[in-house]
Structure 1
Amino acid sequence: MSRESDCRADVRKLKEYADQLERSIDNVQGLCGTATWKGPKSERFRSEFSGHKKQIKDAVANARAAIDKALKRVEKEEEEKKKSGAGK
Protein backbone atom coordinates (compact mmCIF):
# COMPACT_ATOMS: atom_id res chain seq x y z
CA MET A 1 0.00 0.00 0.00
CA SER A 2 1.13 3.51 -0.69
CA ARG A 3 1.25 6.27 1.87
CA GLU A 4 -1.73 7.89 0.15
CA SER A 5 -3.87 4.75 0.25
CA ASP A 6 -2.92 4.21 3.91
CA CYS A 7 -3.98 7.78 4.61
CA ARG A 8 -7.26 7.28 2.74
CA ALA A 9 -7.98 4.14 4.80
CA ASP A 10 -7.26 6.05 8.02
CA VAL A 11 -9.48 8.92 6.87
CA ARG A 12 -12.36 6.51 6.23
CA LYS A 13 -11.98 5.05 9.72
CA LEU A 14 -11.76 8.47 11.38
CA LYS A 15 -14.86 9.65 9.54
CA GLU A 16 -16.72 6.50 10.62
CA TYR A 17 -15.71 7.18 14.23
CA ALA A 18 -16.86 10.79 13.92
CA ASP A 19 -20.21 9.61 12.52
CA GLN A 20 -20.58 7.15 15.40
CA LEU A 21 -19.80 9.85 17.94
CA GLU A 22 -22.38 12.19 16.43
CA ARG A 23 -25.01 9.42 16.41
CA SER A 24 -24.22 8.62 20.05
CA ILE A 25 -24.63 12.27 21.04
CA ASP A 26 -27.97 12.39 19.23
CA ASN A 27 -29.05 9.16 20.96
CA VAL A 28 -28.25 10.60 24.39
CA GLN A 29 -30.26 13.68 23.47
CA GLY A 30 -33.22 11.49 22.57
CA LEU A 31 -32.96 9.36 25.69
CA CYS A 32 -32.91 12.26 28.14
CA GLY A 33 -36.07 13.95 26.89
CA THR A 34 -38.75 15.27 29.23
CA ALA A 35 -41.00 12.27 28.51
CA THR A 36 -38.26 9.92 29.72
CA TRP A 37 -36.71 11.78 32.61
CA LYS A 38 -38.32 14.40 34.84
CA GLY A 39 -37.20 16.45 37.79
CA PRO A 40 -34.63 19.08 38.69
CA LYS A 41 -31.63 16.83 38.00
CA SER A 42 -32.96 16.04 34.55
CA GLU A 43 -33.37 19.74 33.79
CA ARG A 44 -29.83 20.43 34.96
CA PHE A 45 -28.46 17.56 32.89
CA ARG A 46 -30.30 18.69 29.75
CA SER A 47 -29.05 22.22 30.25
CA GLU A 48 -25.45 21.12 30.73
CA PHE A 49 -25.63 18.50 28.00
CA SER A 50 -26.80 21.07 25.49
CA GLY A 51 -23.54 22.97 25.95
CA HIS A 52 -21.46 19.79 25.91
CA LYS A 53 -23.24 18.59 22.79
CA LYS A 54 -22.33 21.79 20.96
CA GLN A 55 -18.70 21.53 22.07
CA ILE A 56 -18.49 17.90 20.94
CA LYS A 57 -20.12 18.61 17.60
CA ASP A 58 -17.76 21.58 17.08
CA ALA A 59 -14.78 19.38 17.94
CA VAL A 60 -15.97 16.72 15.49
CA ALA A 61 -16.38 19.36 12.77
CA ASN A 62 -12.87 20.65 13.47
CA ALA A 63 -11.51 17.10 13.39
CA ARG A 64 -13.23 16.45 10.05
CA ALA A 65 -11.63 19.61 8.63
CA ALA A 66 -8.20 18.58 9.94
CA ILE A 67 -8.65 15.10 8.48
CA ASP A 68 -9.48 16.52 5.07
CA LYS A 69 -6.54 18.92 5.27
CA ALA A 70 -4.14 16.10 6.19
CA LEU A 71 -5.37 13.96 3.30
CA LYS A 72 -4.91 16.83 0.85
CA ARG A 73 -1.38 17.40 2.17
CA VAL A 74 -0.50 13.73 1.69
CA GLU A 75 -2.03 13.74 -1.81
CA LYS A 76 0.02 16.82 -2.69
CA GLU A 77 3.24 15.32 -1.29
CA GLU A 78 2.68 12.07 -3.19
CA GLU A 79 1.99 13.99 -6.40
CA GLU A 80 5.17 16.01 -5.92
CA LYS A 81 7.14 12.78 -5.38
CA LYS A 82 5.75 11.38 -8.63
CA LYS A 83 6.65 14.54 -10.51
CA SER A 84 10.18 14.71 -9.12
CA GLY A 85 10.69 10.97 -9.77
CA ALA A 86 9.41 11.27 -13.35
CA GLY A 87 11.75 14.17 -14.10
CA LYS A 88 14.86 12.16 -13.29
Structure 2
Amino acid sequence: MQDIFKTFERLFDNVIPKDIKYVFKEKYETDQTYEFIMIVEEKDLDIFKSKKSGGLINSVINMCNSEISNFSKKIVIDLEVLELYA
Protein backbone atom coordinates (compact mmCIF):
# COMPACT_ATOMS: atom_id res chain seq x y z
CA MET A 1 0.00 0.00 0.00
CA GLN A 2 2.90 2.34 0.72
CA ASP A 3 4.05 2.21 -2.92
CA ILE A 4 0.60 3.13 -4.18
CA PHE A 5 0.37 5.96 -1.65
CA LYS A 6 3.72 7.38 -2.82
CA THR A 7 2.55 7.15 -6.44
CA PHE A 8 -0.60 9.13 -5.65
CA GLU A 9 1.43 11.69 -3.68
CA ARG A 10 3.70 12.32 -6.68
CA LEU A 11 0.72 12.52 -9.02
CA PHE A 12 -1.14 15.01 -6.85
CA ASP A 13 1.99 17.10 -6.26
CA ASN A 14 2.40 17.46 -10.02
CA VAL A 15 -1.27 17.95 -10.95
CA ILE A 16 -2.78 20.05 -8.16
CA PRO A 17 -1.84 23.75 -8.25
CA LYS A 18 0.60 24.74 -5.50
CA ASP A 19 -1.76 27.32 -3.99
CA ILE A 20 -4.41 24.70 -3.20
CA LYS A 21 -4.10 23.12 0.22
CA TYR A 22 -5.07 19.50 0.76
CA VAL A 23 -4.24 16.55 2.97
CA PHE A 24 -3.88 13.08 1.47
CA LYS A 25 -3.46 10.11 3.83
CA GLU A 26 -3.65 6.35 3.87
CA LYS A 27 -6.74 4.98 5.58
CA TYR A 28 -6.49 1.20 5.49
CA GLU A 29 -6.14 -1.83 3.27
CA THR A 30 -8.65 -4.65 3.02
CA ASP A 31 -8.57 -7.88 1.05
CA GLN A 32 -10.23 -6.08 -1.85
CA THR A 33 -9.37 -2.38 -1.54
CA TYR A 34 -6.73 0.23 -0.85
CA GLU A 35 -8.47 3.08 0.94
CA PHE A 36 -7.29 6.67 1.23
CA ILE A 37 -8.72 9.96 2.43
CA MET A 38 -8.28 13.43 0.96
CA ILE A 39 -9.31 16.55 2.84
CA VAL A 40 -9.77 19.79 0.89
CA GLU A 41 -11.05 23.25 1.61
CA GLU A 42 -14.62 23.96 0.57
CA LYS A 43 -13.52 26.71 -1.84
CA ASP A 44 -11.46 24.18 -3.84
CA LEU A 45 -14.03 21.39 -3.94
CA ASP A 46 -14.90 21.89 -7.64
CA ILE A 47 -11.38 20.93 -8.71
CA PHE A 48 -11.58 17.63 -6.87
CA LYS A 49 -15.23 16.78 -7.47
CA SER A 50 -16.87 18.60 -10.36
CA LYS A 51 -20.37 17.70 -11.52
CA LYS A 52 -19.48 18.47 -15.16
CA SER A 53 -16.17 16.66 -15.58
CA GLY A 54 -16.29 14.32 -12.60
CA GLY A 55 -13.35 16.07 -11.01
CA LEU A 56 -9.82 14.95 -10.30
CA ILE A 57 -10.68 12.34 -7.66
CA ASN A 58 -13.32 10.57 -9.76
CA SER A 59 -11.02 10.60 -12.78
CA VAL A 60 -8.16 9.03 -10.82
CA ILE A 61 -10.44 6.43 -9.24
CA ASN A 62 -12.01 5.49 -12.58
CA MET A 63 -8.61 5.13 -14.22
CA CYS A 64 -7.19 3.04 -11.37
CA ASN A 65 -10.23 0.78 -11.18
CA SER A 66 -10.62 0.25 -14.92
CA GLU A 67 -10.26 -3.18 -16.48
CA ILE A 68 -6.86 -2.26 -17.94
CA SER A 69 -5.43 -1.19 -14.57
CA ASN A 70 -2.52 -3.11 -13.05
CA PHE A 71 -3.75 -2.62 -9.48
CA SER A 72 -4.64 -5.88 -7.79
CA LYS A 73 -7.23 -4.19 -5.56
CA LYS A 74 -9.79 -1.44 -6.05
CA ILE A 75 -8.83 2.11 -5.09
CA VAL A 76 -11.13 4.09 -2.80
CA ILE A 77 -10.47 7.77 -2.07
CA ASP A 78 -12.88 9.40 0.37
CA LEU A 79 -13.11 13.13 -0.19
CA GLU A 80 -13.90 15.25 2.86
CA VAL A 81 -14.41 18.98 3.02
CA LEU A 82 -12.74 21.14 5.64
CA GLU A 83 -15.11 23.89 6.62
CA LEU A 84 -13.29 26.90 7.96
CA TYR A 85 -15.01 29.09 10.52
CA ALA A 86 -13.80 32.62 11.17
Normalised by the length of structure 1, the TM-score is: 0.29
Please identify the structure whose Cα radius of gyration is greater. Answer: 1
Higher relative contact order (CA 8 A, sep 6+): 1
Structure with more of its chain in helix, by fraction? 1
TM-score (norm 2): 0.29
**Greater strand proportion:** 2
